[in-house]
Amino acid sequence: MLAADGLAEAASTIEWQGRRVDVRDGGWVLRATAATGLELAAGWTTSSLGEGFFSLEAPGASVAEVLGWAAQRPTVASIEPDFVINPDSLPNDPAFGSLWGLQNVGQSGGVSGADIDAVQAWDVTTGSRGVVVAVIDTGVDWMHRDLAANIWRNPGEIPGDGIDNDGNGFIDDIVGWDFANRDADPMDDHGHGTHVAGTIGAVGDDGQGLAGVNWQVSLLPLKFLSASGRGSTSGAIAAINYATRMKRDFGVNIVATNNSWGGSGPSEALRDAIAAGGSQGILFVTAAGNDATNIDALPSFPASVADPAVIAVAATDHSNRLAGFSNFGLASVDIAAPGVGIVSTVPGDATASYSGTSMAAPHVTGVVALVAAANPSASAPEIRAAVLATATPVGSLARRVAAGGIVNAAAAVAAIRGTAARAPLPVPSGSAEDLAPIVVEAGQVARGAFRVPPTGGSVVITGIIGDSRFGSHDVDMVRVSVQAGQTLVIDVAGLKVGDAAPVDSYLRVFNTAGRQVRANDNIAGSHDSRVVLKPRRTNVFFVGISGAGNTGYKPDAARKSRPGSTGGYELTLSFSRLSGTRQAADAIRLLGRADIPQHLSQSQLFLALAAEAFQTEGVTIRR
């Protein structure tokens, strides 16, 4: 059976990779290629965390002793301390009793309409119990009168028979698992996890208590934080791996995990576990943290984990302002949601008002589940794109979170069902053969730009210049996030799209202040254009594509400048992988010279031949 010690009551501070971190005394997390051959020192023990991860107990051993031991073991692929994790809630006035985050009419003194538009979304769907969300937290009061009907039940287990009926490594895991106390009862003995669960899916329209973002959903409690609200990366990894295995091996439709906790060190093992879940289509929604810090500069984990499965969430108040305690970061935090004075369920059939990015994250997780219910065939990248691309714009958040605003349930649901005026489109993932171009009418200005989430591979977008009301003055804007040390190759090639002939393109790149930092007209004697970016710091850029001649438009206002040529184009964004990190594009193959077809345009050919020079693992050439 899998095991994890989620309790982290005995903790200490050590120096690790140049920073002071809190760790569980004697606790380590390792990944091994084989369970045999570890040859533990006297008094040391290991237990499985699943998927090749192990928790190592080395009481009294120094960092140097443990690292020296690991260096002599060929089967140890990686090892790191078991970092201490804490929940991200800030308890607030328990008398605050209005669900302004779902529908804000100014009842709490805030701004009417400063909410997630849940009521409008409910006109389309109120959720589905066929959609499963894992709540990785302090547990859930799964008998709470407003949650009980929405608690997941394991159909492969027979209650109380003491047998692992479904063969998943856990005995009688009827409603989930407790990795803190190592038993089958993930009952919340703290309150935090129950509060989170209520926002995601308190039963709605039942004449009692509260309503969550989803009136019906299946909540899977996975407890790893103890009664004191503390835990460790080993417990978190075990819980994440449980969700991954249940979806991969047992077909449980887990669309997301809610992770309202933080404070861990830069755990590579945690990154790997998140990526493994992402590979199975599980989104990892997490709180941005409550340190009022720009985490682009000072990373906070797991919010700062660079993986396409991650959605990091900042908190706002009832007036659409960033909460004073909330972390932020244009490159690291994806979106914002209500997180101040949030009323939800707590153990004992009660309710309470809490504040924190912990309260913001479940609003987004709830929207993810609602979107999945609205379109059961939607993939995880499609759901993520719908949620992020349809955020309600808020001026004060434009340079604080990547989406530039607050999650909008109604717009995301409309987009995934194809009923929005301009539906968001997914960033492709998978093998090169599976990649299809994204067809997009991008925003005319930076604020409405089509957003490309951070990646380590290649994204292909097709569009038309001249198909908007601006005619030959048309501009398509795309927003990209580039990590420090990454190389981004931006290539615009003329392409016949429908009745539109290939465009003679002009390419401009702007920073977030609206200043042009790069521009290009013709590359290698063609009518195509190309720019290479390699920023010293993580940054956001706006890529503007227009027809040749239209070179003086403003990126912050839809005003006419000079008319340009019109026609179709293909935009290829090729991001290099960061050294030492794992990216979603691992599965996208790198094309070698022998694979380059002869009919490529000059700019496409140049891009392919430059792949090695720019270390662009994951270049995808459209054939």
Task: Give me the phi and psi of 74, to 5 degrees please.
Answer: -60, -25
Which residues touch 513 (CB under 8 Å, ≥6 apart)? none
Q: Taking 80 as the threshold, does the pLDDT of residue 584 lie above it?
A: no
pLDDT tens-digit readout, 16-61? 877 778 899 999 999 998 777 788 889 999 999 998 999 999 999 9
The residues near 251 (Cβ < 8 Å, ≥ 6 apart) are none
Taking alpha carbons only, the member of 340, 347, 341 closest to residue 146 is 347
Rounded Cα gap, residues 82 and 29, in angstroms: 6
Q: Mean pLDDT across the stretch 104-110?
A: 85
The angle, 0 to 180 degrees and rounded to 10, between the axes of the packed helices 409-416 and 380-389 is: 140
User: Sorting pLDDT into bands at 50, 70 and 90, what band is 559?
Assistant: low
pLDDT of residue 456: 60
- Within the chain, all domains assigned CATH 2.60.120.380 are found at 432-609
Q: Does domain 432-609 have CATH number 2.60.120.380?
A: yes
Q: What pLDDT was estimated at residue 91?
A: 32
Structure tokens at 623: 């054939």
75-105 confidence digits (pLDDT tens) = 898 999 999 887 654 334 233 346 899 988 8
Tell me: the pLDDT tens digits for 312-367? 999 999 999 999 999 999 889 999 999 999 999 999 999 999 999 999 999 999 99
Question: What is the pLDDT, as a whole number, of residue 555?
Answer: 77
Active site residue 332: no
Does pLDDT of 603 surpass 70? no
CATH topology for the 95-416 domain: Rossmann fold (3.40.50)
In angstroms, the first-to-last Cα distance of the chain is 49
Active site residue 144: no
Residue 226 designated active-site: no
| Lowest pLDDT segment from 279-288, 448-457, 557-566 | 448-457
The pLDDT of residue 84 is 86
Banded model confidence at residue 523, pLDDT cuts 50, 70, 90: confident
What's the pLDDT score for residue 454? 54
What pLDDT score was predicted for residue 444? 57
Q: Which of 116-130, 352-366, 426-440, 587-601 has the highest mean pLDDT?
A: 352-366
For position 611, what pLDDT does the model report? 28
pLDDT of residue 3: 33
**For the chain, how many residues are written?**
623
How does the average pLDDT of the chain come out, rounded? 81
Q: Where are the CATH 3.40.50.200 domain residues in the chain?
A: 95-416
Report whether pLDDT(443) > 70.
no
Q: What is the pLDDT of residue 449?
A: 66
Give the pLDDT score at 435.
32
Nearest-angstrom CA–CA distance, 54 and 345: 34
Nearest to 287 by CA among 303, 276, 299, 275: 303
pLDDT at 496: 85
Residue from 108, 304, 358, 505 carrying the catalytic annotation: 358
The predicted-structure confidence for 376-427, as pLDDT tens digits, reads as follows 999 999 999 999 989 999 988 988 999 999 999 999 999 888 643 333 333 3
DSSP 529-541: EEEEE--SS-EEE
Give the span between the Cα atoms of 90 and 610, in whole angstroms: 50
For residues 154 and 175, the answer to whether their CB atoms sit within 8 Å is yes
Q: What is the pLDDT of residues 152-170, one digit of tens each?
A: 999 999 999 999 999 999 9
Q: Determine the Cα–Cα distance for residues 504 and 529; give it in Å rounded to an integer.
A: 9
pLDDT above 70: residue 614 = no
Q: Which of 190, 192, 318, 363 is catalytic?
A: 192
The single residue of 82, 115, 137, 491 carrying the catalytic annotation is 137
Q: What is the pLDDT of residue 427?
A: 35
